[in-house]
Amino acid sequence: MQDLSLHILDIAENSVEARAKRLDIQVEENHRLDRMTLEIADDGAGMDKELQARALDPFVTTKKTRRIGLGLSLLAQASDAAGGSLTLRSRPGLGTKVRATFQLSHIDLQPLGDIPQTLVTLIVAHPALNIRYVHKVDERTYIFDTQELRSELGAISLATPHVAAMIKKDIQDGIRQIRRTL
């Protein structure tokens, strides 16, 4: 995968496959500590200890359509290549949390990618999924939450093309605003 937003999309799709109803995605860029953290947590089926211990193996997957599961192993590799690490916590019935860290100034840090498009893709493909996206850059924070947006829009679907376009623009503007002094 060429950027971190594609890793987010892959892990989010795994969450949906695990029957998650809620997905929390957080990106934190801390320039003082030269550290970026990516965290994805869901309330899906979770994994038992045996599967969790093998989850970073590229030849392990729970999917019936293929025999390999590269998503987590590729994110672990990307994190390791950029001076970071990946941790995975999961409990059956309670969900899974993936946390990857990266050295911000590392030459091998993959670009963050198109986060707004990734989030809109998830929203349109899975309109019932509750997604909360938090992006922090030093002391500034941007938060996007589909539950809050649904309460404002009422019966209008988030998957409606003009709503999806509005969501994408809001996320683009929000991220641009917190990165304004970089």
Classify residue 27: in a domain, yes or no.
yes
Asked if residue 59 lies in contact with residue 68, where contact means CB atoms within 8 angstroms, the answer is: yes
Classify residue 102: in a domain, yes or no.
yes
Classify residue 11: in a domain, yes or no.
yes
Q: What Rg do the C-alpha atoms of the chain give, in angstroms?
A: 16
Which pLDDT tens digit goes with each residue over 115-145? 999 999 999 999 999 999 999 999 999 999 9
Classify residue 153: in a domain, yes or no.
no
Which pLDDT tens digit goes with each residue over 56-111? 766 555 544 443 346 788 999 999 999 999 999 999 999 999 999 999 999 999 99
What's the pTM?
Answer: 0.90
Report the CATH number at residue 67.
3.30.565.10
> What is the number of structural domains in the chain?
1
What is the pLDDT averaged over residues 10-22?
94
Classify residue 167: in a domain, yes or no.
no
Classify residue 65: in a domain, yes or no.
yes
Contacts for 140-145 with beta carbons within 8 Å, 24 or more apart? 140/177, 140/178, 141/178, 142/171, 142/174, 142/175, 142/177, 142/178, 144/119, 144/170, 144/171, 144/174
Q: 3-class SS at 25?
A: strand
Classify residue 48: in a domain, yes or no.
yes
Classify residue 36: in a domain, yes or no.
yes
- Which domain covers residue 40, as residue numbers? 4-113+130-144
Q: Which helix (H) or strand (E) holds 70?
A: helix 70-81
**Residues composing the chain:** 182
127 bridge partner residues: none
